[in-house]
Structure 1
Amino acid sequence: ESMSTHDPDGKLLAIHSVVVRDEYRRQGIATTMLNHYVKTIEEEDQNGTIESIVLLAKAHLLGFYVNCGFRVNRPSPIVHGQELWYELEKKKMKTVRSLPLASESWFCKTEQFKRPFPEVKPHLEAHKKWVEDLRREGNCITSGYRVDSKGRPGGGGLMFLAAESYDDAYETVLQDPLVANDCVDWELNGWIGQVGDVQMR
């Protein structure tokens, strides 16, 4: 009965089920489907009507949904069968800003790995998620790496971010998993565009 009404202008989008046939499970298909669906919703909701994506799940599936970016809010008061259900939520990504606010300036962090790549790799993945989370929160930031004339990496990392002051940018960089885990030698500078400006997709 809780699903008997539909408000096309509602702020919550409820996912009923994510289902994969038994013989195709544990191949990453459910993760791919769910992430693609969430990305499509975020791209198509141009008016920003949807604020959160919500769903119910049993305890043995909580890890799957958390790994897909959902947060466990609480046990659900809804009763269906004998097992306890949990409410999960994923806040919709805010519009990604491509330019600083009037009160912000550009800053640029350059870096070089100082530990063997196998040691750095897990922190690099955490770095990517950290940047994605900041963008999801509405921060103006982008991260990548430099390559040579043949497209081979090795030139080091490069990250642009907008902040109201050098100190604010510095505090943000200190939270970077690559920095916090002492994986890189890095430097932070302000960046002033004299011709044109930087925009991010």
Structure 2
Amino acid sequence: MTQKLDTLQAALESVLGDRIAHFKRALGEITITVKAADYAAVCTTLRDHPELAFEQLIDLAGLDMSTWKEQPWDGPRYLTVLHLLSVGKNWRLRVKVFAPDDELPVVASVTPIWNAASWFERESFDMYGIIYEGHQDLRRILTDYGFIGHPMRKDFPVSGHVEMRYDAETKRVIYQPVTIEPREITPRVIREDHYGGLQ
């Protein structure tokens, strides 16, 4: 495994050079971070270069880094993470790219490079509001078309903004402001010395 990672690391450093903004090798995995301006070109190189040959995108996800590990985050807020697979070379790679603008997070779409990215990018747009420039059909995929906001953002209220219910009088679904009062629930912890017969 170590030899394979050494080979992949050498190939990445040789082919991509200074387009790798940050390189991390830990727990038998390699993660590279690239700048948003280089993102599409780097992904195309990762797919097409014979020394790398990442022909398959396994996963793509968005992240809100505003309170990473319960700590204030100093850096761009929105992150897109890709997991790539080279079937021919039998190795994997994680690629990270931060959207440079927190107010309007935009990164290039990789759907033209890997078709599998299409629905993943739609999900990331829906949940986090990250815009994938060049995506042919960027619209909500999990929430309702009239949904306001992006529910996986860390500043999105747990109760949401509106609630939906069926109105028997009008015989249709209606939207109304949330009627649930915000509250914090602290679970009650029961401690027993011999719970379940354990000593």
* TM-score after normalising by structure 2: 0.25
Higher normalized contact order (CA 8 Å, seq sep 6+, divided by chain length): 1
Query: Which has the higher Rg, Structure 1 or Structure 2?
Result: 2
